[in-house]
A and B are shown apart, each in its own frame.
Chain A
Amino acid sequence: MTIFISVLVLGLIPSIWITRNYNSFISKRNRVDYAYGSIDVMLKKRHDLLPALVKVVQLHLQHENNLADKLMELGSQTDQEMGPVRQKIEFENQLSHQLNQWRAVARKYPAFRSTENFLQLQASLNEAEEQLSAARRAYNGTVFAYNTSIERFPANILAKALGHEPLAMFELADTARETNFVNV
């Protein structure tokens, strides 16, 4: 009887521990995926502004054809499947760089900066970028929680056995802050 109880206890404790940790990894991983979905929504919001940006540049800044072309080129790529996160980050950084250029160009033309078109577009862009930043922060928060849970001893042994690998944070160049348009 004693042996039976000892075996039961010895078997039960590890099973509970494994189940608990397994479920915790899964729920944290799902949270990461969910948060990644939010980033996608916010990126789409930013991409949707590109046609309007191109239009405004073509309408008001005819001398800046190069900028319009680059924005248009990036706009055409937004519909394509991006693939891994790293590729996506690279593309978004390129886009951020072009948006920086757009802002720098706008600075040279005070008359353009006071147009209703520009003001509306700038407000929408600021909003989209800050929402993107918020989504990124939320995503990184979930990645941090997930990475911590799979790297802690002794759960890391189980995580490794189950094939859980640490995930990369989503880091983007913060265009708005770089150009001092948004002091947030």
Chain B
Amino acid sequence: MKDKKTTLPFSEVFDGLKPRFQELDDMRSSWREKEKSLSIFPIAGAIMVILGLAFFKVEPKTNTPDYGMLVLIFVGLLTIVVGLRERVSRMLDNKDFYKDQLMNSLVNTIDPSFRTKPNSFIEKITFLRANFFPHTSIGQYEGKNLIMGKRGDTDFRFCEIKVHDEKENGAFSAFKGLFFEADFHKHFEGRTIIKPKESGGLFRSKINPLEDMGAEEVVMEDLEFENNFTVYSTDQVEARYILSMRMMRDLNELRKRLNCKIYASFYKGNMYLAIDWNKGLLAKSWTKSIRSQELVKGYYNDLNFCFDLVDALNLNTRIWSKRPGRGEGAVGSVQLAVGSG
């Protein structure tokens, strides 16, 4: 097992990154100013439309409209559309570039070998493969803030995703949060899924996500784990091999720490986690100044939390015969299919 990466105290990280953050914040402020100045075009367009409408007349004798005013209204509308489009597209470009730089700076401090792609996300097929919501017709799938790397011997990647359930009467949010994929440290053949325990006591609905594959519910010995989660697996012994006492304890701890729903799935040598996390990575970074230590500390802690999942779930303990990254579905093996937001 390789040593855990030591995490620097935040004050040291912040001091080290201060010059870079100042530079980034100056860049952000100047871009925001420029964006504001681009508002002049839609405003001018609106004035033209208002004037055109105010002075528009139709000659009563010949019944001909005032073509000059019509042209003014048309030009005004065109200016509004082009101006707004230009402003939004420039804002998005700048925002993406800025977030990319900010995320890179923070992630590099934690581990320079990690790669970030703020506009990308883990492909939909991987989410479907994890089979967290088998009875949901997943329609729109979008995401951002993809980060990938190798912690110790464990390949991992994660991103934020939003998944919609398309029903006959409209689309509903099925899941919004963090999607995490990592190379699991033990070899296994079957399928195991862990779902948060449904509330509702005796009348709770128990939907077996692997019913088609002949999977059954697995009753675990850890009572706290049993109260928090329901396990389904195609192999009762393998489920217990995956869910060692320690793994159950770690998942209990994680749930306690986050106080939100956690889904886990094990398939083709990989572990998938979906964490119903309301927090967004680098949220509000475009509108707020990163000179504020508190704001950056929040970003830093959130990122560290994601990287620490590998350690928290003990995935770096490599004492079994499975060699790192040798799973059938090696993490990130479908790099070309990484979605783009």
Q: Is A182 an interface residue (CB 8 A)?
A: yes
Point out the residues of chain B lying under 8 angstroms from A145, CB to CB.
219
From known contacts A184-B244, A184-B246, infer whether A127 and B321 are also in contact, taking CB-CB under 8 Å.
yes
Point out the residues of chain B lying under 8 angstroms from A183, CB to CB.
246, 314, 317
Of B237, B238, B239, B247, chain A has the most CB atoms within 10 Å of the CB of: B237
Q: Is the CB of B321 within 8 A of A124?
A: yes
Q: Is the CB of A141 within 8 A of B241?
A: no
C-alpha gap A138/B237 in the complex (Å): 6
Q: Is the CB of B319 within 8 A of A134?
A: no
From known contacts A127-B186, A141-B219, infer whether A181 and B319 are also in contact, taking CB-CB under 8 Å.
yes
Q: Is the CB of B240 within 8 A of A126?
A: no
Q: Which residues 131-145 in A have Cβ within 8 Å of B in the complex? A: 131, 133-135, 137-138, 140-141, 145
Point out the residues of chain A lying under 8 angstroms from B219, CB to CB.
141, 145
Q: Is A114 an interface residue (CB 8 A)?
A: no
Chain A proximity mask over B211-222: 1 for CB below 8 Å, otherwise 0 = 000000001010
Report the contact-size class of chain A (Cβ under 8 Å from the partner).
20 to 34
Point out the residues of chain A lying under 8 angstroms from B240, CB to CB.
133-135, 137-138
Q: Which residues 242-259 in B have Cβ within 8 Å of A in the complex? A: 244-247
Partner of A134, one of B238, B246, B320: B238
C-alpha gap A140/B236 in the complex (Å): 12
Point out the residues of chain B lying under 8 angstroms from A131, CB to CB.
237, 241
**Interchain nearest-CB distance for B57 vs A (Å):** 86
Q: Is the CB of B237 within 8 A of A38?
A: yes
Point out the residues of chain A lying under 8 angstroms from B221, CB to CB.
137, 140-141
Q: Is A151 an interface residue (CB 8 A)?
A: no
**Interchain nearest-CB distance for A85 vs B (Å):** 18
Q: Is the CB of A120 within 8 A of B321?
A: yes
Q: Is A35 an interface residue (CB 8 A)?
A: yes
C-alpha gap A121/B164 in the complex (Å): 48
Partner of A138, one of B186, B236, B320: B236
Q: Is the CB of A134 within 8 A of B321?
A: no
C-alpha gap A38/B314 in the complex (Å): 26
Q: Is the CB of B238 within 8 A of A126?
A: no
- CB closest chain-B residue, reference A181: B319
C-alpha gap A117/B61 in the complex (Å): 105
C-alpha gap A138/B231 in the complex (Å): 13
Q: Which residues 288-341 in B have Cβ within 8 Å of A in the complex? A: 314, 317, 319-321
From known contacts A137-B221, A184-B245, A184-B246, infer whether A126 and B319 are also in contact, taking CB-CB under 8 Å.
yes
**Interchain nearest-CB distance for A127 vs B (Å):** 5
C-alpha gap A127/B186 in the complex (Å): 8
Point out the residues of chain A lying under 8 angstroms from B314, CB to CB.
183
Q: Is A123 an interface residue (CB 8 A)?
A: yes
Partner of B319, one of A35, A133, A138, A182: A182
**Interchain nearest-CB distance for A60 vs B (Å):** 20
Point out the residues of chain A lying under 8 angstroms from B241, CB to CB.
130-131, 134
**Interchain nearest-CB distance for A133 vs B (Å):** 8
Point out the residues of chain B lying under 8 angstroms from A141, CB to CB.
219, 221, 236
C-alpha gap A183/B1 in the complex (Å): 12
C-alpha gap A38/B235 in the complex (Å): 11
Q: Is the CB of B237 within 8 A of A135?
A: yes
- CB closest chain-B residue, reference A38: B237
- What is the interface of chain B, defined by CB distance below 8 A to chain A? 186-187, 219, 221, 236-241, 244-247, 314, 317, 319-321
Please give 17 more A-B residue pairs, beta carbons under 8 A apart, in addition to A35-B236, A38-B237, A134-B241.
Answer: A120-B321, A122-B319, A123-B319, A123-B320, A126-B319, A127-B186, A130-B186, A130-B241, A131-B241, A134-B237, A134-B244, A137-B221, A138-B240, A183-B314, A184-B244, A184-B245, A184-B317
- What is the interface of chain A, defined by CB distance below 8 A to chain B? 35, 38, 42, 120, 122-124, 126-127, 130-131, 133-135, 137-138, 140-141, 145, 181-184
Q: Which 5 A-B pairs have the closest CB atoms?
A: A134-B240, A134-B241, A184-B244, A123-B321, A127-B320
Could you list some 18 contacts between A and B, CB below 8 A?
A38-B237, A122-B319, A127-B186, A127-B320, A130-B186, A131-B237, A133-B240, A134-B237, A134-B238, A134-B239, A134-B240, A134-B241, A135-B240, A137-B221, A138-B236, A141-B236, A183-B317, A184-B247
